[in-house]
Amino acid sequence: MARLGTCSLTWAALIILLLPGSLEECGHISVSAPIVHLGDPITASCIIKQNCSHLDPEPQILWRLGAELQPGGRQQRLSDGTQESIITLPHLNYTQAFLSCCLNWGNSLQILDQVELRAGYPPAVPHNLSCLMNLTTSSLICQWEPGPETHLPTSFTLKSFKSRGNCQTQGDSILDCVPKDGQSHCSIPRRHLLLYQNMGIWVQAENALGTSMSPQLCLDPMDVVKLEPPMLRTMDPSPEAAPPQAGCLQLCWEPWQPGLHINQKCELRHKPQHGEASWALVGPLPLEALRYELCGLLPATAYTLQIRCIRWPLPGHWSDWSPSLELRTTERAPTVRLDTWWRQRQLDPRTVQLFWKPVPLEEDSGQIQGYVVSWRPSGQAGAILPLCNTTELSCTFHLPSEAQEVALVAYNSAGTSRPTPVVFSESRGPALTRLHAMARDPHSLWVGWEPPSPWPQGYVIEWGLGPPSASNSNKTWRMEQNGSATGFLLKENIRPFQLYEITVTPLYQDTMGPSQHVYAYSQEMAPSHAPELHLKHIGKTWVQLEWVPEPPELGKSPLTHYTIFWTNVQNQSFSAILNASSRGFVLHGLEPASLYHIHLMAASQAGATNSTVLTLMTLTPEGSELHILLGLFGLLLLLTCLCGTAWLCCSPNRKNPLWPSVPDPAHSSLGSWVPTIMEELPGPRQGWWLGQTSEKSRALTPHPCVQDAFQLPGLGTPPITKLTVLEEDKKKPVPWESHNSSETCGLPTLVQTYVLQGDPRAASTQPQSQSGTSDQVLYGQLLGSPTSPGPGHYLRCDSTQPLLAGLTPSPKSYENLWFQASPLGTLVTPAPSQEDDCVFGPLLDFPLLQGIRVHGMEGLGSF
């Protein structure tokens, strides 16, 4: 426990020393235990002395753990007048913390006293205790593993004692060995050891929460001796010593001097300097020999070597590996088989290009430094003429005319390989059949054939890039020694998406067969481009497209299907899948006068390719079709109107409300009158006006019933279809012409005359023809003459049938007929005069009035 006192220089003490009216002796903290297990509870009490007069009578004591205030303190006044506060921390989860007793002094929190609290674990049992006797330092070195962290200061002590037995009885104690802080090993000096005698050794760990001890180790210091390794070195060359064999190394070592009196054995390990090979162990090596020849190594290879030793046959520990020694093995003559193949130039058959490949016959076949092609001329014993000396795997040379065979050897500094004869013979053997090739994967090609009869001794297979990148210098070849083989998998120098030319030649005894070649792709590619779309026909809602398929290409996978896509302006996409044999397609269900984007996708197993986009617009509806539609609509509307009109005309209860029945002039006495003059008389005319005209028009507009055609009987003249009633000229009076007939009484010569057939009076008394209905329409009453001195009168009936136009309430005075009212508002009929009768005669004798039913006869005295 660390308390704050007057001499303490901790930061808390410094704060207390600076307080006004020092509080350093006012408070005191007591704890149940300053060091506990991590997570265990702890109880503390703080007592404030009574002599602290500058404090409040009832001061409030506060607790703080580290920087956090801790609630739960119980404060009370003791019998001696002191104040006590007790607090219990249920779990101490800090490995180290300060617990403070405080008071509020002014505006700050002042510390009265504080203690350091620690929490951790008791020490674990040390394990893996081992000891070594180091003869160099003459000390017994022991090491151990301390176990998990305790979070508390823990001390380790190496304890030992001497024993004459198996450590069951304890003899003299040996001085304890205490390691330095943080170390887990300790050395017992030679002076405290008794060699060749057992001793018991163990490790004790201790801290504030407990003590633990490791299992006891019983040993003889000499049984755990660890020697120092020897020093490897190269043997000095000696004229009497034989040179090392190929693949062998000669080495020696110097033993460790302090261990010369100890029997020991050693072992050697080695590995090549280059590469990732593991160490190879060789041993045991006799120590007394001090030299050794290591064989079975690769020739002309640098090796790294190390050695170590152990006490033997008595117990002991292996020494560390010695420093490395680097040596290089000697060369050996190449032990290889050379497979050869040759090719003659077409322009110069004596120029030969020879190829070869070394095939190792052993795992250690020796390093090859170069190749020599030579030939032996006939008649010159022992003479060998070189043709080519190269480090490559091919050579081009001019073959002498008398030479039919050359020899090929591989060489290095240790010698040459066995000569390989190369015989240049013509192709006289049978050829193989059914040569074919196919890709297995992007980096391999399978080439197969049917072997000829008889079977050849082997085959030469060549492959390289085909046209247009073909080159004889970049071809790869190999020899198949099995004459019964029917194929071979090519894996060397195969790249994807490339065209390869593969040549296979059968080899026979002293001859060969003709070469056969085949082309194959290592991996087929997707189509380079899709067919171009063409528009064949187009309509308002459909489009017919066609295309020309692309011809097959080498290296391109065959097409599996087409997919056609079309998109409208609303970005709505549609598609259809077609067979690879399709040549066209019709798009249905399109919108008229709409824009579409169309493209074709050609797909194969290797991928797909899109064509260019075809943009088109469907047709709009034609004008003729629109006219036909409008005509059909108009015809339908006309038929509807006709049907409605027929229905209205044929239904009596529907016709009368629309128009009343009118007299038929064809069945009146007007039909018995025939005009004697058929030409149209020029000039102004005077007559009766059967209606009202406008101020600008002077011609009488015929009533619909007056316009009905009527036929004059007994004459071949056309029917009268129109009555023209002329009016007087308002500016000039028309001169009257006299006639001999007394009946006309001086009618105007410009008035058309009518001849009455039959008795007009009798005609007037004939019964009126009946129309399809019994209703009668009263047109009006004609009173007076328009040429008489007095104003004429026109009595209008109550009929609603329109005649010419709407009558004005007050007809003008210059019109033929008008209304004249008396002051009392009644119509006044002027008395007929003799002059009127002389001009017109009786009104009933006027031809135009024969077809008019006249009512109100009682008001006409002259009739």
Asked if the model's pLDDT at residue 858 lies above 80, the reply is: no
Do 437 and 513 lie in one domain? The reply is yes
The confidence score (pLDDT) of residue 452 equals 87
Do 516 and 551 lie in one domain? The reply is no
Mean pLDDT of the 234-249 span: 75
Mean pLDDT of the 311-325 span: 88
Do 473 and 391 lie in one domain? The reply is no
Do 185 and 103 lie in one domain? The reply is no
CB 703 within 8 A of CB 691: yes
3-state SS string for 165-221: CCCCCCCCEEEEECCCCCCCEEEEEHHHCCCCCCEEEEEEEEECCEEEECCCEEECH
The confidence score (pLDDT) of residue 323 equals 92
- Burial (CB count <10 Å: 0-12, 13-18, 19+), residue 147: middle
815 inside domain? no
Q: Which residue has the higher pLDDT, 84 or 772?
A: 84
Strand order in the sheet with 27-31: 27-31, 42-48, 83-89, 74-77
Do 267 and 286 lie in one domain? The reply is yes
The confidence score (pLDDT) of residue 525 equals 78
Do 309 and 379 lie in one domain? The reply is no
Mean pLDDT of the 606-613 span: 88
Give the C-alpha separation, 782 to 767, whole Å.
Answer: 21
Range of the domain at 265: 231-237+244-328
Give the C-alpha separation, 718 to 755, whole Å.
Answer: 17
Task: Tell me the two tokens of residue 690.
Answer: 């059967």
Mean of per-residue pLDDT scores for the chain:
74
Mean pLDDT of the 433-452 span: 88
Number of structural domains, the chain? 6
The confidence score (pLDDT) of residue 821 equals 43
Predicted confidence band of residue 596 (pLDDT cuts 50, 70, 90)? very high
Of the spans 19-33, 296-310, 737-751, which averages the highest pLDDT? 296-310
Question: What is each CA distance from 285 to 163, 268, 290, 322, in whole angstroms?
Answer: 37, 8, 9, 14
Predicted confidence band of residue 849 (pLDDT cuts 50, 70, 90)? low
Asked if the model's pLDDT at residue 788 lies above 60, the reply is: no
Do 136 and 80 lie in one domain? The reply is no
Domain end, chosen from 105, 120, 135, is at 120
- Domain harbouring 387, CATH code: 2.60.40.10
pLDDT tens-digit map of 245-273: 777 888 888 888 877 778 888 899 999 98
Asked if the model's pLDDT at residue 837 lies above 70, the reply is: no
295 inside domain? yes
Task: Tell me the two tokens of residue 51.
Answer: 């002599």
Do 175 and 209 lie in one domain? The reply is yes
Give the C-alpha separation, 552 to 532, whole Å.
Answer: 16
Do 504 and 541 lie in one domain? The reply is no
77 inside domain? yes
CB 407 within 8 A of CB 420: yes
CB 133 within 8 A of CB 224: yes
Q: Which residue has the higher pLDDT, 492 or 798?
A: 492
Predicted confidence band of residue 641 (pLDDT cuts 50, 70, 90)? very high
The confidence score (pLDDT) of residue 6 equals 30
Do 262 and 216 lie in one domain? The reply is no
The Cβ-side half-sphere exposure at 263, using a 13 Å CA radius, reads 4
| Other Cβ atoms within 10 Å of 688 Cβ, number | 21
Predicted confidence band of residue 58 (pLDDT cuts 50, 70, 90)? confident
The confidence score (pLDDT) of residue 57 equals 66
717 inside domain? no
Predicted confidence band of residue 578 (pLDDT cuts 50, 70, 90)? very high
The confidence score (pLDDT) of residue 10 equals 35
686 inside domain? no
Q: What is the pTM of this model?
A: 0.42
The DSSP-derived string for 250-309 is EEEEE--GGGTTS-EEEEEEEEESSSSPPPEEEEEEPTTT-EEEE-SPPTT-EEEEEEEE
Asked if the model's pLDDT at residue 109 lies above 90, the reply is: no
286 inside domain? yes
Give the C-alpha separation, 115 to 97, whole Å.
Answer: 9
Phi, psi (degrees; rounded to nearest 5) at 100: -120, 145
Predicted confidence band of residue 673 (pLDDT cuts 50, 70, 90)? low
Task: Tell me the two tokens of residue 277.
Answer: 């090979």
Picking from 660, 654, 653, 853, the residue whose alpha carbon sits closest to that of residue 775 is: 660
The confidence score (pLDDT) of residue 73 equals 81
Q: Which residue has the higher pLDDT, 224 or 767?
A: 224
pLDDT tens-digit map of 405-436: 899 999 988 888 899 988 887 778 888 888 98
Asked if the model's pLDDT at residue 744 lies above 50, the reply is: no
Percent of the chain with pLDDT over 90: 17
Q: Which residue has the higher pLDDT, 176 or 17?
A: 176
Q: Which residue has the higher pLDDT, 489 or 167?
A: 489
386 inside domain? yes
Give the C-alpha separation, 161 to 176, whole Å.
Answer: 9
- Burial (CB count <10 Å: 0-12, 13-18, 19+), residue 578: middle
**Lowest mean per-residue pLDDT among 134-143, 347-356, 458-467, 778-787:** 778-787
Strands 127-134 and 225-226: parallel
Domain end, chosen from 423, 452, 486, is at 423
The confidence score (pLDDT) of residue 412 equals 86
Do 110 and 29 lie in one domain? The reply is yes
Can you tell me whether residue 640 is helix, strand or coil?
A: helix
Give the C-alpha separation, 810 to 825, whole Å.
Answer: 13
Mean pLDDT of the 381-407 span: 85
12 inside domain? no
Asked if the model's pLDDT at residue 484 lies above 80, the reply is: yes
Asked if the model's pLDDT at residue 159 lies above 70, the reply is: yes
Can you tell me whether residue 222 is helix, strand or coil?
A: helix
**Lowest mean per-residue pLDDT among 210-214, 234-238, 665-669, 745-749:** 745-749
The confidence score (pLDDT) of residue 663 equals 62
**Lowest mean per-residue pLDDT among 376-390, 486-500, 732-746:** 732-746
Asked if the model's pLDDT at residue 732 lies above 70, the reply is: no
Do 80 and 95 lie in one domain? The reply is yes
Strands, E, within 624-699: which ranges?
673-675
Domain end, chosen from 328, 357, 372, is at 328
Mean pLDDT of the 541-562 span: 86
The confidence score (pLDDT) of residue 650 equals 79
Task: Tell me the two tokens of residue 544.
Answer: 């017919």
Asked if the model's pLDDT at residue 107 lies above 90, the reply is: no
Picking from 816, 782, 813, 777, the residue whose alpha carbon sits closest to that of residue 693 is: 816
The confidence score (pLDDT) of residue 70 equals 85
